[in-house]
């Protein structure tokens, strides 16, 4: 049985990958406190922490890696 069977008949929304987006360095008007890192697991359940973090030492330092592992 295919793992995709439960998805038949459902509409898949647009998704983007790294190759689809070009980031240009520059000043941003978005403040870190205004970002949303929550993830919806089900219709009723969402979590307020990121599921993934960039594998870069300037983004994911040891403290964040430890907290995400808990």
Sign, CA torsion 34/56/69/46: positive
Q: Name the pTM for this structure.
A: 0.37
Q: What does the pLDDT look like over 5-51, one tens digit per residue?
A: 666 677 777 777 778 888 888 888 888 888 888 888 888 888 887 77
**Which residues have C-beta within 8 Å of that of residue 27, sequence separation ≥ 6?**
none
3-state secondary structure at position 67: helix
Nearest alpha-carbon partner for 60 in 37, 41, 30, 28? 37
Residue ranges covered by each domain of the chain: 33-69
């Amino acid at each position: 049985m295919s793992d995709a069977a439960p998805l038949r008949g459902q509409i898949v929304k647009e998704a983007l990958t790294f190759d689809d987006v070009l980031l240009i360095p520059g000043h941003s008007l978005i403040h870190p406190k205004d970002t949303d890192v929550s993830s919806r697991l089900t219709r009723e359940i969402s979590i307020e922490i990121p599921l993934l973090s960039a594998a870069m030492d300037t983004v994911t330092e040891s403290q964040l890696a430890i907290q995400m592992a808990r």
